[in-house]
């Protein structure tokens, strides 16, 4: 019935290299790391994505993510770090149980994000801003 891999890790039914655990949050190493020491910070309650997670839990998750990031910086001495979250298949989400990634970065790691930055045409930028502003409640 419950096939979510992160829910199984939360219940300790699936193996994971856990680095932090509280009543509401668990953090463990990504088995396919961008760099070694790449951690996933996961709320124990199943939420599909960033918009689905209860706001109080999100606050707590952000605090724990910062704690984990500090520990990665202190223990691994990377040159930098990325914190990110993929939401939706189009954005590269593969496990539909919300989580933050924290990955150490090194000057020599030679990652290349393939991105196509767009240019707004005249008036388009204010149009997009207006649409978003109107939807903020
Ligand atoms: Zn889950």
Q: pLDDT of 28-70, one tens digit each? A: 999 999 999 999 999 999 999 999 999 999 999 999 999 999 9
Is 79 within a domain? yes
Helix (H) or strand (E) holding 72: helix 55-76
Question: Contact 101/107 with Cβ under 8 angstroms?
Answer: no
Is 99 within a domain? yes
CA pair distance 106, 122, nearest whole angstrom: 39
Catalytic residue flag (residue 99) = yes
Is 46 within a domain? yes
- Number of domains making up the chain: 1
Residue 44's alpha-carbon distances to 21, 47, 106, in angstroms, are 9, 9, 30
The enclosing domain of 15 has a CATH number of 3.30.428.10
**pLDDT (average), residues 96-109:** 97
Is 18 within a domain? yes
Is 87 within a domain? yes
How close is the Cα of 9 to the center of ligand 1, in Å? 9
Number of H helices, E strands in the chain: 3, 5
Predicted model pTM? 0.92
Is 125 within a domain? no
Range of the domain at 44: 5-112
How close is the Cα of 25 to the center of ligand 1, in Å? 12
Is 128 within a domain? no
């Amino acid at each position: 019935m419950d096939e979510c891999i992160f829910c199984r890790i939360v219940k300790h039914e699936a193996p994971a290299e856990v680095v932090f655990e509280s009543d509401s949050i668990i953090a463990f190493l990504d088995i396919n790391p961008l760099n070694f020491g790449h951690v996933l910070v996961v709320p124990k309650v199943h939420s599909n994505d960033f918009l689905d997670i209860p706001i109080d839990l999100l606050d707590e998750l952000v605090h724990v993510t910062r704690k984990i990031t500090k520990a990665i910086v202190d223990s691994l001495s990377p040159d930098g770090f990325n914190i990110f979250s993929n939401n939706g298949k189009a954005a590269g989400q593969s496990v539909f149980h919300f989580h933050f990634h924290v990955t150490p970065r090194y000057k020599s790691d030679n990652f290349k994000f393939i991105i196509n930055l767009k240019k707004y045409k005249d008036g388009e930028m204010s149009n997009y801003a207006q649409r978003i502003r109107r939807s903020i409640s």
